Structure 1
């Protein structure tokens, strides 16, 4: 966490305000917080194992999926999210799949 725990309500409200703005702009698809940093890996054969475990202090607190026309627009929304949640954002493009 990059802010004092007592700031969590203010950070949550600021983050929710950005989500509301993205919905009103028609770019919001889905998002949510990550409950646990622990992951389970399901292999192609169906076997399950715990891991991977983060090797750094960096954590993934959540994710947002938006649909915009350009990378620049995605970066602008990421800047709004970063400011509201007081943490850096990683931006990745999701490949379009016409079957989804």
Structure 2
């Protein structure tokens, strides 16, 4: 089994479409979470706060610069995630296809390497 992070990415337009019928979105999301729990693959699931409430720490210069809100030229914003423990990337893709999402949204799928796969500093 491998861990895969399904990152929900939306635009201002797709997020507005989701919020237009928030009750339906929450019901569909709840059903999706129930399915992943019954299948024994869900490790974690969280939504994120409004991007305007966040900050960005930019390491482009010599010292970090902190600014309010999301990236200046962002067209897609992370809205939340599901962390699944599945047998393959293909299985992660199949679950991602079932995530409740508005037209224009995307799900980015990234494998989470095990601790034995992370490069270690030599002593």
After TM superposition, the score normalised by the length of structure 1 is 0.77
Aligned pair partner of 2:21 in 7, 12, 26: 7
Are 2:57 and 1:28 aligned?
Answer: no
Cα RMSD, aligned residues only: 2.5
Matches of 2:69 and 2:110, distance apart in 1: 20
| Distance 1:34-1:49 versus aligned 2 partners, 3 A rule | same
- CA shift, 1:51, in A, is 6.1
Q: What is the aligned partner in structure 1 of residue 109 from structure 2?
A: 91
- CA shift, 1:49, in A, is 3.4
Count of residues paired in the alignment = 93
Structure 2 unpaired stretches of 5+: 1-14, 117-123
Q: What is the aligned partner in structure 2 of residue 53 from structure 1?
A: 70
Structure number with the higher strand fraction is: 2
Matches of 1:58 and 1:73, distance apart in 2: 25
SS in 1 for 2:111: coil
**Higher relative contact order (Cα pairs below 8 Å, separated by 6+ residues):** 2
Structure 1 unpaired stretches of 5+: none
